Amino acid sequence: MNYDDVAITTAVTIPYVRYSTRSAHWFLARALAETFQSSGLKMSDIDGLCVSSFTLTPDTAVGLTQHLGISPRWLEHIPMGGASGVIALRRAARAVQCGDAQIVACIAGDTNHVDSFRQTLASFSQFARDAVYPYGSGGPNASFALLTAYYMRVFGARMDDFGKLCIAQRANALEYPHALFKKPLTLEDYLTARPIAAPLRLYDCVMPCAGAEGFLVMRRERAHALGLKAARLLGAIERHNAFPDDPIQMRGGWELDRDDLYAQAGVAPSDIDFVQTYDDYPVMTVMQLEDLAFCAKGEGPAFVRSHTFDLRGSFPLNTSGGQLSVGQAGAAGGYLGMVDAIRQLTGESIGGIVPDAKIGLVSGFGMINYDRGLCSGATILARDAA
């Protein structure tokens, strides 16, 4: 079954803050309320809810229904971190296509108390608690330092390649009102920033923060009837624990499923007008560009050197600035690219605009369970011409 009759609408953002005394419930409530506000729908119109959050514990989506006073007939909880946005969309799309729900609100959000990130890390997974956290407790910085060092050694990437991506994203972020980083980034700033976990320095690392994102999924005819601007869903893939025999992560599940993705969508990589990668660390962006067939494996560094990545560049990337410049609001980080992709395609951008964008690709990646990220996903969205 294709996704032809699925519409994605009503991208909402609860502005990010570095720290908050609110709980995740507050941010998720705000995101849900904002979808009503933006769409003009009432609480009773939405019969499906899909939630992602790390800091909602001990609650899940179940507890949230009572907390927020809603009675959905379809409920999903997706604990897949940075892949949550793409996978929420996949789940919600099938639910509305099959009639299990009419309108699904997909929301992701997290709070960030002064000490909550450390607590999340210490008990992130059984493998992390047993076999990662006791080794320096560097969190994802340490995990991605190991992957980055390996990638650089094997494929000849240089820090200024990664810096180029970070700088372009910062330029995009300067046009996006909710970005927490508001100053331009120079290559010198990037290369001389304080070391975090060699070879990573400060601007290679996302900054944990609090915030939320959301969108609505319904059938196209419903969106048209409601007068909502919508993006179309051309294709979507997900994969978990791909390539378990690779000694270290140099690729994600996208490589297994990309042909399927482009076949579903009926487009080629060259048809894509902008790409939203999951950019928790720039090495992951490079891997996604390779695995999603924008260049061959190992050619990421050359691809970076031959393109420009700002909104009006040869390869517009992470159009709102990405997590590296906007901040990483926990699971909302897995929604950031999706939400801005919807806005770019519905003409509702609140920041910079990719000129004449018709097709966008959103990639998700999440959950460093032990030594690598396990969840990958990607989706191709298009402007709804109807």
Partner 1 sequence: MTTPLARPKRKNPFLRTRLSVLPPAARSRVALGLTAAAAEGRFELQVCTACGTTQYPPREACSRCLCGDLKWALQDGRGELISDSTLHVSHDLYFRERMPWRVGMVRLPSDAILITHVHGDVPAAPSQVRVTARLDKSGQAALIALPIMDTANMSDDRQLREMTCDPKFRKVLVTDGKTAVGQEIVKAVLAAGADMVWLGFAEPWKQLPGFADIAALPQVTPLPLDLTNSESVKQIAAQIGAKVDIVINNAEVHRTHGISSRYGVDVAHAEMEVNYFGLLRLAQEFGAVMRARGADGQSGAVAWVNLLSIYALTNFPPHGTFSASKAAALSLAQCLRAEMRPAAIRVINAFPGPIDDEWNQLVPPPKLAPRALAHAIVGALQDGTEDIYPGDVAQEWRARWRENPKILERELAG
Q: Could you say whether residue 313 binds partner 1 (CB under 8 A)?
A: no
Q: At which residue do the structure tokens 């607590």 appear?
A: 119
List the one residue from 57, 71, 127, 297 that touches partner 1 (CB under 8 A). 127
**For residues 221 and 246, which CB has a smaller minimum distance to partner 1 in the complex?**
246
List the one residue from 49, 96, 147, 286 that touches partner 1 (CB under 8 A). 147
Q: At which residue do the structure tokens 């990037």 appear?
A: 190
CB contact at 8 A, 112 and 19 = yes
List the one residue from 149, 191, 302, 350 that touches partner 1 (CB under 8 A). 149
List the one residue from 123, 186, 192, 306 that touches partner 1 (CB under 8 A). 123
Per-residue binder mask for partner 1 (CB under 8 A), 331-370, x = binder = ---------------------------------------x
From the list 104-112, 145-153, 212-220, 358-366, the region that binds partner 1 by CB under 8 A is 145-153
List the one residue from 118, 183, 297, 312 that touches partner 1 (CB under 8 A). 118
Q: Could you say whether residue 248 binds partner 1 (CB under 8 A)?
A: yes
What residue type is 317 in one-letter code?
L
Phi, psi of 222 (to 5 degrees): -70, -45
CB contact at 8 A, 83 and 377 = yes
Name the strands in the sheet holding 6-17, side by side, starting at the edge strand that comes first in the sequence: 74-77, 48-52, 103-110, 210-219, 6-17, 230-240, 373-383, 359-368, 274-276
List the one residue from 85, 199, 301, 366 that touches partner 1 (CB under 8 A). 199
CB contact at 8 A, 29 and 23 = no
Minimum separation from the CB atom of position 149 to partner 1 (A): 5
What token pair was written down for 206? 């996302």
**For residues 139 and 235, which CB has a smaller minimum distance to partner 1 in the complex?**
139
User: Cα separation of 228 and 291, whole Å?
Assistant: 34
From the list 115-123, 251-259, 315-323, 354-362, the region that binds partner 1 by CB under 8 A is 115-123
**For residues 152 and 353, which CB has a smaller minimum distance to partner 1 in the complex?**
152
Q: At which residue do the structure tokens 């159009």 appear?
A: 319
Q: Is the peptide bond before 355 cis (omega within 30 degrees of 0)?
A: no
CA atoms within 13 A on the CB side of 324: 35
Phi, psi of 264 (to 5 degrees): -55, -45
Per-residue binder mask for partner 1 (CB under 8 A), 178-197, x = binder = ----------------xxxx
How many residues bind partner 1, per CB under 8 A?
39
What token pair was written down for 266? 């009926």
Residues that bind partner 1 (CB under 8 A): 117-118, 121-123, 126-127, 129-139, 141-142, 145-147, 149-150, 153, 194-200, 244-245, 247-248, 370-371
